[in-house]
């Protein structure tokens, strides 16, 4: 492993007052359209001994050689986490160490340099402190943190890059999806396209998992769906949805309510929200919680028997998104998620938000300011 950069070496150059941009209204935020006044950059140059000193500076464009490996071979990765302004006005991160772990795994896979996650968390915390007025004063919005690592070496060889850039930018965001009144989304399962395969990178947060989904997502959108539900194999196993992991709530053979999500078999992004839901809900005594292979046949069958209660997506960007409709071949599955008396998705969402916005103290939430 590389010798990591250190937060003690952080150099800070603040924006001049005339460089500061006005903050948008919460109602205009959307997702990832606005950026804050500062950014973090950490260069890696193998010839200079590896990681250089981290720098916080006014937000600026990058300058890249057109041959930079990231631009040709997608030698890059990204992460997504959020800073929340709590009821006590303190700013919290949610399990950032899990994003750091995942980032290092993706770096390894693409020959990008690894680093000490705690050091990056400290640098990011400083960046968020500097731009803290950008953390929305609202419980429907957050500051989305986007760490990115790209191979910058300007040569065409498909090899580990000798130079790289880790940068972190911040974007105040509200809801990811544009939905109708009830906030439910609709997804389309297209068995003719595949997102990931065994031995691939479906379990790593690399840009190349997302770019090639655009065409299929556009086809789904034409049919009135928000995103694609990615299936795998002849049995049409559910893996994940465009920007989220998937959960199903149903009545099992024993007559008990079961919360279920596909297992981490290499085809699925190991979501921080996904993991947190499994950990939290496994303590709820009225619910059976499982990771299990779920096929489209099973979903169709459960629905026919009236035992399919809910489906929802979970992710940092989408938080918890109830799903009310699934298109699949000739099937149009109406999921009664929105008509449950005490839906599991709402309980999960309320629990997560209570932790994230500091309504309850919980070890998942880390106060940084
Ligand atoms: C997330 O941060 O939750 C994501 O899945 C990123 C997404 C917008 C691609």
pLDDT per residue as tens digits for the range 227-274: 999 999 999 999 999 999 999 999 999 999 999 999 999 999 999 999
Distance CA 241, CA 292 (A): 16
pLDDT tens track for 100-113: 999 999 999 999 99
Q: How confident is the model at residue 2 (pLDDT cuts 50, 70, 90)?
A: confident
**Cβ(315) to ligand 1 under 6 A?**
yes
pLDDT tens track for 146-197: 999 999 999 999 999 999 999 999 999 998 888 877 889 999 999 999 999 9
* Residue 175 confidence (pLDDT): 85
Q: How confident is the model at residue 302 (pLDDT cuts 50, 70, 90)?
A: very high
Residue 160's contacts (CB-CB under 8 Å, 6 or more residues apart) are 111, 112, 151
Mean pLDDT of 305-316: 97
**Cβ(243) to ligand 1 under 6 A?**
yes
β-pair partners for 80: none
| pTM (two decimals) | 0.96
**Bridge pairing between strands 288-291 and 308-315:** unpaired
CB 85 within 8 A of CB 137: yes
Distance CA 194, CA 216 (A): 10
CA of 320 to the centre of ligand 1 (A): 12
**Cβ(99) to ligand 1 under 6 A?**
no
Tell me: pLDDT of 1 over 80: no
Query: Which of 315, 320, 321, 352 for a ligand 1 pocket mutation test, highest count of atoms within 8 Å of Cβ?
Result: 315
Map tokens 């606005």 to a residue.
Answer: 34
Torsion, CA 297, CA 299, CA 302, CA 308, rounded to 10: 180
Could you tell me the two tokens for 367? 């106060």
* Residue 178 confidence (pLDDT): 82
Mean pLDDT of 36-57: 98
- Kindly report the average pLDDT of the chain as a whole number: 96
* Residue 181 confidence (pLDDT): 77
Which atom of ligand 1 is nearest the CA belonging to 273? 3
Could you tell me the two tokens for 195? 């997102």
Could you tell me the two tokens for 305? 């028997």
The percentage of the chain sitting over the pLDDT mark of 90, rounded to a whole number, equals 96
Distance CA 194, CA 232 (A): 7
* Residue 341 confidence (pLDDT): 96
Tell me: pLDDT of 350 over 80: yes
CA of 80 to the centre of ligand 1 (A): 6
For ligand 1, atom 1, which residue shows the shortest CA distance?
317
């Amino acid at each position: 492993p590389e010798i990591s950069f250190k937060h003690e070496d952080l150099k800070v150059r603040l924006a001049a007052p005339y460089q500061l941009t006005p903050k948008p209204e919460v109602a205009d935020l959307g997702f990832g359209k606005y950026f804050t006044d500062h950014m973090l950059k950490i260069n890696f140059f193998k010839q200079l001994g590896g990681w250089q000193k981290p720098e916080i500076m006014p937000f600026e464009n990058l300058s890249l050689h057109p041959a930079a490996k990231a631009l040709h071979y997608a030698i890059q990765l990204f992460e997504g986490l959020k800073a929340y302004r709590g009821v006590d006005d303190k700013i919290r991160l949610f399990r950032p160490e899990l994003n750091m772990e995942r980032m290092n795994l993706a770096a390894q896979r693409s020959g990008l340099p690894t680093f000490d996650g705690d050091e990056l968390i400290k640098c990011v915390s400083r960046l968020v402190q500097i731009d803290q007025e950008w953390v929305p004063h609202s419980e429907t919005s957050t500051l989305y943190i986007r760490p990115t690592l790209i191979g910058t070496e300007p040569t065409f060889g498909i090899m580990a890059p000798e130079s790289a850039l880790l940068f972190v930018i911040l974007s105040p965001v509200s809801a990811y999806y544009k939905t109708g009144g009830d906030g439910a989304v609709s997804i389309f399962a297209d068995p003719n396209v595949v997102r990931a395969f065994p031995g691939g990178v479906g379990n790593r947060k690399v840009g190349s998992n997302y770019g090639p989904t655009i065409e299929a997502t556009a086809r789904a959108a034409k049919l009135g769906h928000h995103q694609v539900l990615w299936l795998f194999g002849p049995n049409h196993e559910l893996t994940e949805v465009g920007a989220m992991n998937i959960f199903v709530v149903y009545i099992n053979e024993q007559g008990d309510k079961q919360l279920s999500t596909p297992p981490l078999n290499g085809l699925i992004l190991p979501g921080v929200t996904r993991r947190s839901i499994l950990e939290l809900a496994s303590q709820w005594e009225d619910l059976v919680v499982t990771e299990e292979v779920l096929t489209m046949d099973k979903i169709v069958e459960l629905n026919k028997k009236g035992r399919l209660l809910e489906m929802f997506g979970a992710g940092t960007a989408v938080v918890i998104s109830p799903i009310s409709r699934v298109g699949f071949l000739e099937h149009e599955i109406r999921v009664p998620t929105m008509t449950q008396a005490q839906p599991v998705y709402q309980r999960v969402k309320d629990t997560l938000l209570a932790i994230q916005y500091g309504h309850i103290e919980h070890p998942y939430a880390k106060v940084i300011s």
